[in-house]
Amino acid sequence: MNLTQPDWAIDAVFYHIYPLGFCGAPRRNDFKSAPLDRLEKVGRWLPHVRALGANALYLGPLFESSAHGYDTADYYHVDRRLGANADLARLSAEIHAGGMRLILDGVFNHVGRDFWAFRDLQQNGPASPYAGWFEGVRFDAQSPYGDAFTYQPWEGHYDLVQLNLRNPQVREHIFEAVRTWVNKFAIDGLRLDVAYCLDMDFLRELAAFCRALKADFWLLGEVVHGDYAQWANPQTLDSVTNYEAFKGLYSSLVDKNYFEIAYSLNREFGPEGIYKDIPLYNFVDNHDVDRVAGRFSNPALLRPLYLLLFTMPGVPSIYYGSEWGLAGSRTPQDDSALRPCLELAEMERSAPQPDLPQFIQRLAALRAALPALRHGAYRQLFVSHEQLAFARFTADQYVVVLSNAAGQPAAFDLQLPENTVEAVDVLNGNKRWPIERGHLRVDAVDAHWGAILELGRD
C-alpha cells in the first residue's frame, strides 16, 4: 500500500448512511418549512456503528435540495428536512468525540432546478449574470420543462442541470462551500458524486484546495468504469469506488465461480497489480445498487462475502442495514427500497440475519489488529470454484485468508514461505496448524465459512 495516503483512511472501516431516507425525511422539499433536526437520529446510531468496528462515517447528500439530495439548491445550508447547520455541527462533534472521521457527499457536477443561480437564469434569461454557470445554455430552444432556454442535463435527466466547472466563479462558489464545511462541520473528506464526469482540471484544483485546508483530507471519487488510476493519483483523488470488485464479490458466490473475483483481485492488487498502491473503496452494496442480501438464495453466503470484503486490499464500507442482511431492490423509476427509514430497536429485534453484525464486528476487530490486512501486499495461493486462499503480508507479518463458499467443509493444501513454522487461526478460537517445510494442510474449513491464519516465522 502507498502510505503517502492519509493514514486514517487506509485504516478506516466506513459506515455509509443515506440520510434523507434513513431519517424518514419527506420525499420533496417545500422550501418553506422550518428546519427539523432529523439528523439527531444518526447520533443515536453512533454506538451501534462503533460497535460494528466502523471508525469513519460517510453521510450521503445533506445540503438543501429539491428531492433526493443530488439535486442541490444551496451548498451552504443543511437541507431543512434534515435540520439546520447547527444540527450538523453538533452531530459532527459527536462523531469526532467518539473517535470517528466524517466524510460527506460533494455533488459538484450538477445541481437541481431549484438552485438559486438557475432560478435567476429562469427569471432574467440572457441578462442573468449566471448564464455562464451552466453547461450548454442556449436561448434559441426550450427545455423539456418549458424554459425559454435549454441547457445540458446530466445523462439526459433535465432535473439535474450540469454546472460549467471551467467557470472561475463556479469553482470559487464550490470551493468556498467546501471551506465552510471544513470550518463549520470539521469534515475529514468528501466522496465526489459522479467523479468520472468531473473536469480533470477542476479535480486537480479542488484536491490542492482541500489539502491546503486540511493536510489529511481524503478525497474519494465515484468511478464505475475505466482506469481508476486516471482519477486516483497524487494530483487528484486518494481513492475511487471499486465497482470492478463489487460485481465480482457477489457474482462469484452466486455463480459458484471464485475465479471471477480472484481474477479481479490479481489484476488490481497482485504482484503486477495495476492498483496495488491505491487503497480502493470496497463495498458490497450502496444507495445506488440492489442490496446484496437479496442476490443470495442462501443467506449463509453473506459470511464468505464479508470475509472477503474485510480481508482484501482496500478500505471496506458497510451500507446501513446491510449488516443485518436487509434486502432491497431498485426499480427503473424508484430507488426508495435501497434507502429506507430504519429504526435501530426494530432491526435488533427482527433483523433478517441477527447474527451477522457480530460476525462483521469480529472481522473489523481482526482487520484492526492485523496490520497486514490493512497495509499488506496481496498474493493468491489457491482458487477453485468455491474455495479461495490468499496471503496478505508485510515485512513483519504474514496472514493467510481461507474462504469456503461451498455447502460442505473443505480442505486446503497450501505452499507457503519456507521460514513459516505455524499457523494460528485467529478467526476460529486460535486453533493451531503446523507448517512443515513450507507446506500447510488445513483439514476442514466449515461450510460457508473461512479462516484467518497468522503465520509464525523462524
Per-residue pLDDT tens listing for the chain (458 residues): 333 467 899 999 999 999 999 999 999 999 999 999 999 999 999 999 999 999 999 999 999 999 999 999 999 999 999 999 999 999 999 999 999 999 999 999 999 999 999 999 999 999 999 999 999 999 999 999 999 999 999 999 999 999 999 999 999 999 999 999 999 999 999 999 999 999 999 999 999 999 999 999 999 999 999 999 999 999 999 999 999 999 999 999 999 999 999 999 999 999 999 999 999 999 999 999 999 999 999 999 999 999 999 999 999 999 999 999 999 999 888 889 999 999 999 999 999 999 999 999 999 999 999 999 999 999 999 999 999 999 999 999 999 999 999 999 999 999 999 889 999 999 999 999 999 999 999 999 999 999 999 999 87
Which pLDDT belongs to residue 2? 38
Q: Residue 121 corresponds to which amino acid?
A: L
Q: CA 219, CA 214: separation in Å to the nearest integer? A: 11
DSSP 385: S
Note the helical H segments in 186-330.
Answer: 200-213, 243-254, 258-269, 302-311
Q: CA 243, CA 223: separation in Å to the nearest integer? A: 7
Contacts of 57 (CB under 8 A, 6+ apart): 14, 15, 16, 17, 42, 46, 49, 95, 100, 101, 102, 103
Ramachandran angles phi, psi of 38, nearest 5°:
-85, -15
Q: CA 215, CA 209: separation in Å to the nearest integer? A: 10
DSSP 417: -
Nearest CA among 224, 229, 235, 322 for reference residue 279: 229
Q: CA 264, CA 445: separation in Å to the nearest integer? A: 24
Which pLDDT belongs to residue 5? 60
3-state class (DSSP) for residue 90: helix
Nearest CA among 434, 448, 3, 16 for reference residue 222: 16
Which pLDDT belongs to residue 333? 83
Q: CA 447, CA 406: separation in Å to the nearest integer? A: 6
The order of strands in the sheet holding 315-319 is 239-240, 218-221, 189-192, 101-106, 56-59, 14-17, 315-319, 281-282
Task: Work out whether the CA dihedral 318, 321, 327, 330 comes out positive or negative.
Answer: negative
* pTM score above 0.75: yes
Task: Work out whether the CA dihedral 232, 233, 238, 242 comes out positive or negative.
Answer: positive
Contacts of 18 (CB under 8 A, 6+ apart): 60, 69, 287, 320, 338, 339
CA distances from 305 to 223, 283, 308 (A): 22, 10, 5
DSSP string, 308-327: HHHHSSSEEEEETTGGGT--
Domains of the chain, CATH where assigned: 7-109+165-369 (3.20.20.80), 375-457 (2.60.40.1180)
Q: CA 111, CA 134: separation in Å to the nearest integer? A: 9
Q: CA 196, CA 340: separation in Å to the nearest integer? A: 27
Nearest CA among 120, 12, 105 for reference residue 60: 105
* Host H or E run for residue 180: helix 168-185
Q: CA 106, CA 62: separation in Å to the nearest integer? A: 10
Which pLDDT belongs to residue 369? 98
Q: CA 449, CA 385: separation in Å to the nearest integer? A: 15
Q: Residue 268 corresponds to which amino acid?
A: E
Which pLDDT belongs to residue 3? 38
Q: CA 410, CA 256: separation in Å to the nearest integer? A: 14
